Structure 1
Amino acid sequence: MSTSPSARDSAAYPYQAVFIPFPFVCFTLALLTDLAYWQTANLMWTNFSAWLLFAGLVGGAVGLLAGLLDLVRPRTRPLRPGLLVILLYLVILALAIFNSLLHAGDGWTAIVPYGLATSAVTFVLMLFTAALSSRKYARLAWRI
């Protein structure tokens, strides 16, 4: 029994690629809600930021587990991220954990100087990681 090329290609799709965008979106929205809190001082935005950070961390943990599963699958070898990208993913998750602890504080001083800066650094690292990841996928597109 032979499989069609499209069935073979979909079987090689890495699981982590499904879950990795979720924390990126949540951490970006956490930066936007931190900026909204900085401008309005409405406590609603701190709650949004805390929940977005939590949801992003849960999605990141699931993405990390999916990435470990992809390491075992030999068919995903060409689509695996490089070591630098994996380390940057881990740094992003560590920064998000630290940011979540900062957001657990109470009031303006918990968010504005350090929580906002940590959210911004996390966002910049996510952009850099996405750029590094896209370079590998662009090179692979020429091979297909």
Structure 2
Amino acid sequence: MAILSSRDRDAAAYPLQSLFVPFPFVCFTLALATDIAFWQSGNLMWQNFSAWLLFAGLVFGGFAILAGLMDLLRPRTRPLRPPVLSALLYLIILALAFANSLVHAGDGWTAVVPYGLMLSAATFLFCLGAAAVSAHKYARLAWRI
């Protein structure tokens, strides 16, 4: 039988949202890559890939929001919660990706070039910003330990 010390009991719980947040970032980054491939080649396969990647990113983004709401109810996840700016950036990312998904629902060249490509690039830049803001908080927590 293991006896838990007070240090073990007071440790922060792993936030559930951390399981789902990386998936939209990867999907939206790959959607930008497939949009660029479509822009360069004109092959409709890349447009379909982009549409599916945007859909998968939005689904996992919805799961991340639900997990984040569950984490708000868990007091032990407080030290590892993302800052408010990071959460706001996540919502902006999902809104941009949703708009991008609506643009990609069109047919042919105009479904991607120029507005779909610009929305994919904006989504990617916001993903980089959210990752930088989140990494800054986790770096501060790592030095505190």
TM class, shorter-chain normalised? over 0.9
Aligned to 2:16: 15
Aligned to 1:138: 139
Any idea what the Cα deviations from partners look like across 1:81-125, whole Å, max 9, x if unmatched?
111111110000000000000000011011010000000000000
Any idea what the Cα deviations from partners look like across 1:50-84, whole Å, max 9, x if unmatched?
00000000000000000000000000001101111
- Give, as a single letter, the amino acid of the residue that structure 2 aligns with 1:61: G
After TM superposition, where is structure 1 displaced by more than 2 Å over at least 4 residues in a row?
A: 1-9
Structure 2: give runs of 5+ residues left out of the alignment.
Answer: none
User: RMSD between aligned alpha carbons?
Assistant: 1.6
- Matches of 1:117 and 1:3 in 2, distance apart? 53
Structure 1: give runs of 5+ residues left out of the alignment.
Answer: none
Aligned to 1:128: 129
- Give, as a single letter, the amino acid of the residue that structure 1 aligns with 2:48: N
- Matches of 2:46 and 2:103 in 1, distance apart? 14
- Give, as a single letter, the amino acid of the residue that structure 2 aligns with 1:35: I
Residue correspondences, number: 143
Task: Give TM-score, length-normalised by structure 2.
Answer: 0.94
Alpha-carbon distance, 1:143 to partner: 1.4
- Matches of 1:104 and 1:72 in 2, distance apart? 37
Aligned to 1:38: 39
- Matches of 1:52 and 1:92 in 2, distance apart? 14
- Matches of 2:130 and 2:55 in 1, distance apart? 21
Aligned to 1:67: 68
- Matches of 1:96 and 1:23 in 2, distance apart? 9
- Matches of 1:6 and 1:127 in 2, distance apart? 34
